[in-house]
Amino acid sequence: MENIQNFQILWFVLILILFVGYSLLDGFDLGIGALLPFIAKTEEEKDILINSIGPVWDGNEVWLITGGGALFAAFPHAYATAFSGFYLAMMLVLFALIFRAVSMEFRVNDENRSLIWEKAFIVGSGLAALLFGVALGNVVYGVPLDNKMEFTGSFFTLLRPVPLLFGVTGLAAICLQGASYAVMKTEGELQERSFRAVSILMWINLITAITYFMTMALIVQSLTSNWLFYMAILVTLLGLAGIFFSSRKKNDSALFWESSFSFIGLWLAVAAVHFPNLIKASNDQNLSITIFNSSTGLQTLKLMSVIALIGMPVVIAYTIFVYRIFKGKTKSSDHY
């Protein structure tokens, strides 16, 4: 029994890493999309921002696919409940991601409707970023479940104040990630507007993060004795403080890493409040789906661990390789 619990905990951590990786990497290109009308004023500047994510956005989404696949293989009951109970919300996310993806190509090749595709890119990016946070907020805050581990609420059950706070907090963090990436990849007036966006979003993130942490502490009283929760607060505040000083010094390379650091702090708070739950039951804590009552068998977890031991270093190495190949400032003439 102790042996399988070790693997269950391991896969909770690995899936968390995959989702964190997705939020940091696909987060900046979702942020670029959501911020496009605010920091790009000309067609050339819009081309630069979209071209900056052109070589990497589709690879970034591999982290989400891998995370979903790992959740399905390691904790099938949690996967089934989430994807069936949140079906309409998941379809909205899927359509947002699809329209965001195709709009980047159609904007260039369908000149008569380029403005429509540009708006689809902006709305798809912002909506996906918001809904990812709302979904996470629901599994952390809790949803009604029955004794068969099935969701008994409706679509509107998902739109409660606390999950919406998670959505707004996630959207703010993703926009900051996008603005920081824009600073790193641009020059001139576009970079100056990106710096200003970072400065504004830093304060917005400070407000949303403080509200987020206070809300967590209020709904889960045991957090006040959880060291990981305090570390989460410290990591987020240190990241935002770093952004404050780097933006004043016009350090265009440090901002992205500091934004990522503050984002990781938000995820650490989720780990602190949520472990060992995967989907919390709001109607009865005993009905919650945890890593212990929803996992697959020991042999499957062992086999998956071997695959992860080989596969994850390859994915990480490939990601580093791609970003090194396409490092540097982006030009409007770059096309991918």
Q: What is the pLDDT along the chain (336 residues), one digit of tens a residue?
A: 458 999 999 999 999 999 999 999 999 999 999 999 999 999 899 999 999 998 888 888 889 889 999 999 999 999 999 888 888 888 898 899 888 888 888 888 888 888 899 999 999 999 999 999 999 999 999 999 998 888 998 888 889 999 999 999 999 999 999 999 999 999 999 999 999 999 999 999 999 999 999 999 998 878 888 999 999 999 999 999 999 999 999 998 899 999 999 999 999 999 999 999 999 999 888 899 999 999 999 999 999 999 998 888 888 888 889 888 888 888 766 665
For every residue of 255-304, DSSP letters joined together read: HHHHHHHHHHHHHHHHHHHHTTEEE-BSS-GGG-EETTTS---HHHHHHH
Place of tokens 């200003």: 196
**Rounded Cα–Cα distance for residues 91 and 97 (Å):** 10
| Sign of the CA dihedral with 24 first, then 30, 34, and 40 last | positive
Give CA torsion, residues 299, 301, 302, 306, to 10 deg: 140
Prediction pTM value: 0.93
8-state DSSP, 14: H
* Integer-rounded Cα radius of gyration of the chain: 20
> Residue 145: beta bridge partners?
151
